[in-house]
Amino acid sequence: MKSKLFNKVLVANRGEIAIRVMRACRELGIATAAVYSDADRNAIHVRYADEAHHIGGAAPSDSYLQLDRIVKVAHDCGAEAIHPGYGFLSEKAAFPDACDAAGIKFIGPPGSAMRALSSKLAARKLAVENGVPVTPGSGAITDPAAAVAAAREIGLPVLVKPSGGGGGIGMKVVESEDELDAAIESSAQAARSAFGDPTIYIERYVRKPRHIEIQVICDNHGNAVHLGERECSIQRRHQKIMEETPSPAVTPEIRSAMGEAALKAARAAGYVNAGTVEFIFSEGEFYFLEVNARLQVEHPITEAVTGIDLVKEQIKVAAGLELGFTQMDVTWTGHAIEMRINAEDPVRKFLPNPKRITRWVAPAGPGVRVDSGFGPSSDVPPNYDSLVAKLIVHGADRAEAIARARRALREFVVVGPATTISYHRAILDSPDFRSGNLSTRFIDDHPELVDRAKQLAGEVSPFDYGPDPRHVAAAAAAVAAVVHRTT
C-alpha cells in the first residue's frame, strides 16, 4: 500500500485538524509539511510535522488564505499532495485547480464539483433534477415585488438566504410581508460583505427542525458509500457546538432513504473524496440543505461508530485507490457524541475569550478521544476560530455515551480562557437533551442553561492540581480583611 500512496503531504491548515491529518499520515508512513502564520509560530501542529514553513502574518488573509503561496511551498518542499482541512481555502474551487496546474494532488473533491455545489441555488436545482427533496423556495430574488410574490406562493414564514457561503451568515427569518424589504436588504448586504456575492433567495422556514447530515465518500472508480447520519441540531448562531450519531430521531429506514438521497446529490455533482450532505428534518420528512465539500469538524463521531478512518480514506482516494469497503460492509456500533470546546464565554453570549492556557489536563479513560492543537502554555490567538479542542466519546448506547461525556467533561481542565466546558455539562443535564427532544432552536429555547453553566464552572476538576480557586478566593478575602483593618 505504501508504494501507492504519497511520500509527503502538505497540510494547509492549523490547530487540531492539521494534527488530525498529520496523525493519519504518520500511521500511513507519509511525511508531513506544516504551514504557519506569525500567530502560530510556536503552535503544536508546527512542532508535530516533519517540517514547517512560514507563510505570512497573523491575519488569515496574510497567511492561510494565501493560495498561491501555499501551493508554491508545497511544490518547493516536494509535497505530492495537499490536504486543506476545513475552513480557510478548503471549499475554494480555485484551490484544487491550482494544485492540478502545479502537478500536486488535492485531497478533496475536484474544482468542478465544488463549483456545482458552492451556490445553494445551483445545488438546490441539482437536487431537484435528481429527485432529492428540497423545501419549497424561489430562484434568485432581484426586487421586492418578486420577493412578495415568492413569499405568498411559498407561504409565510420564510427564510431569506444568501446563495453563497455558509455558517448562517445573512440568513433572516421573515414572519410577515412587512419584514421582507429590510430582511432582503440586510441579507444581500451581509452576503456581499462576507462572500462577495449578494445573490439571495427565499425558502419555506421550517419551525424547530432538526439538522441532520449524511457523511459520504466517493472514489475515482465509480464507488460511492454513505456512512450514516450525524445529529447537528445543537447550535448557537447557526454554528454547531455539539453533534451525535446516530440521531435519536432517525430510524434505519430513514437512514437508508437519506443516505441514498445524499449519494444521488454527490453523484450528480461528480463528487470525489469525503463530503457531507446536509438536510433539515421535521416530522419524519427530510429536505436537502447543502453540501459541505470537505471534511467536517464532526467527522470523528462517524469514525467512532463505523470504525472507518475518514482521513486515511481521503488520502487513499486522492492517491487513486478504490474504496476498501462497500455499502454492505458499513455497520454502526454504539453511540458517539462530540463536544466542541471553544474559547468562548457562554455567560457573555459566547463572546470569544482568546488567552494563554495556564493549565491543561485532557480527559482520558474508556471511549474518550480529544483532538486539539493546544496544551499547557499555548496561546489561543484572536485571529482564528475559537475552537480549542474536540471531546469525542463513544458508548454502547446513547445513555452510556451521555454518562461518559459527563464524566469526561468533569475531568477536563482548561484554565486561562473561558470555555464552553460547563455549558456542555449543562446541555447534557437537560431533560430535553436526555430525552432526544432536539431542534436547531434548542439553545434559544433553553436560556436556563447559562445559569446552570455558571454554577458548574465553579466546580474543581479532580485532575486540576493547580491552586484550588476556592482557596485562592478565601486567601484573597483574608488579605483584603487585613488590609482593611490596618488602613
| CATH code: domain of residue 448 | 3.30.470.20
Task: Verify that 150 and 95 share a domain, yes or no.
Answer: no
Query: Domain for residue 330, yes or no?
Result: yes
pLDDT at 143: 84
Task: Verify that 46 and 167 share a domain, yes or no.
Answer: no
Query: Domain for residue 127, yes or no?
Result: no
pLDDT above 50: residue 3:
no
pLDDT at 258: 98
Q: Which domain does 10 fall in, by range?
A: 2-107
Task: Verify that 168 and 254 share a domain, yes or no.
Answer: no
pLDDT above 90: residue 174:
yes
Give the domain CATH number at 144. Answer: 3.30.1490.20
Among the three residues 159, 186, 204, which one is the final residue of a domain in this structure? 204
Query: Domain for residue 471, yes or no?
Result: no
Report, as an integer, the average pLDDT of 423-435.
98
pLDDT at 467: 64
pLDDT at 166: 72
pLDDT band at 458 (very low <50, low <70, confident <90, very high): confident
Task: Verify that 373 and 248 share a domain, yes or no.
Answer: yes
Query: Domain for residue 480, yes or no?
Result: no
Range name among 1-5, 58-62, 463-467 with the lowest pLDDT average: 1-5
Range name among 35-49, 92-106, 400-414, 458-472 with the lowest pLDDT average: 458-472
pLDDT band at 476 (very low <50, low <70, confident <90, very high): low
Catalytic residue of the set 124, 230, 255, 294? 294
Task: Verify that 157 and 218 share a domain, yes or no.
Answer: no
Q: Into how many domains does the chain fold?
A: 3
Query: Domain for residue 112, yes or no?
Result: no
Mean pLDDT score of the chain: 94
Task: Verify that 163 and 250 share a domain, yes or no.
Answer: no
pLDDT above 80: residue 70:
yes
pLDDT at 9: 98
pLDDT at 469: 52
Report, as an integer, the average pLDDT of 2-29.
93
* CA-CA-CA-CA dihedral for 469, 474, 477, 483, to nearest 10: -110
Task: Verify that 162 and 304 share a domain, yes or no.
Answer: no
Report, as an integer, the average pLDDT of 177-193.
91
pLDDT at 485: 60
Task: Verify that 32 and 58 share a domain, yes or no.
Answer: yes
Task: Verify that 228 and 323 share a domain, yes or no.
Answer: yes
The answer to whether residue 294 is catalytic is yes
pLDDT above 60: residue 148:
yes
Query: Domain for residue 473, yes or no?
Result: no
Among the three residues 204, 230, 251, which one is the final residue of a domain in this structure? 204
Report, as an integer, the average pLDDT of 25-29.
98
pLDDT above 50: residue 1:
no
Range name among 79-88, 108-117, 161-170, 401-410 with the lowest pLDDT average: 161-170
Task: Verify that 214 and 199 share a domain, yes or no.
Answer: no
pLDDT in tens, 81-130: 999 999 999 999 999 999 999 999 999 999 999 999 988 899 999 999 99
Task: Verify that 159 and 268 share a domain, yes or no.
Answer: no
Secondary structure in 3-state letters for the chain = CHHHCCCEEEECCCHHHHHHHHHHHHHCCCEEEEEEEHHHCCCHHHHHCCEEEEEECCCHHHCCCCHHHHHHHHHHHCCCEEECCCCCCCCCCHHHHHHHHCCCEECCCCHHHHHHHHCHHHHHHHHHHCCCCECCECCCCCCHHHHHHHHHHHCCCEEEEECCCCCCCCCEEECCHHHHHHHHHHHHHHHHHHHCCCCEEEEECCCCCEEEEEEEEECCCCCEEEEEEEEEEEEECCEEEEEEECCCCCCHHHHHHHHHHHHHHHHHCCCCEEEEEEEEEECCEEEEEEEECCCCCCHHHHHHHHCCCHHHHHHHHHCCCCCCCCHHHCCCCCEEEEEEEECEEHHHCCEECCCECCEEECCCCCCEEEEECCCCCCECCCCCCCEEEEEEEEECCHHHHHHHHHHHHHHCEEECCCCCHHHHHHHHHCHHHHCCCCCCCHHHHCCHHHHHHHHHHCCCCCCCCCCCHHHHHHHHHHHHHHHHHHC
Task: Verify that 195 and 288 share a domain, yes or no.
Answer: no
Query: Domain for residue 121, yes or no?
Result: no
Among the three residues 107, 127, 146, which one is the final residue of a domain in this structure? 107
pLDDT at 238: 86
Query: Domain for residue 56, yes or no?
Result: yes
Q: What is the pTM of this model?
A: 0.92
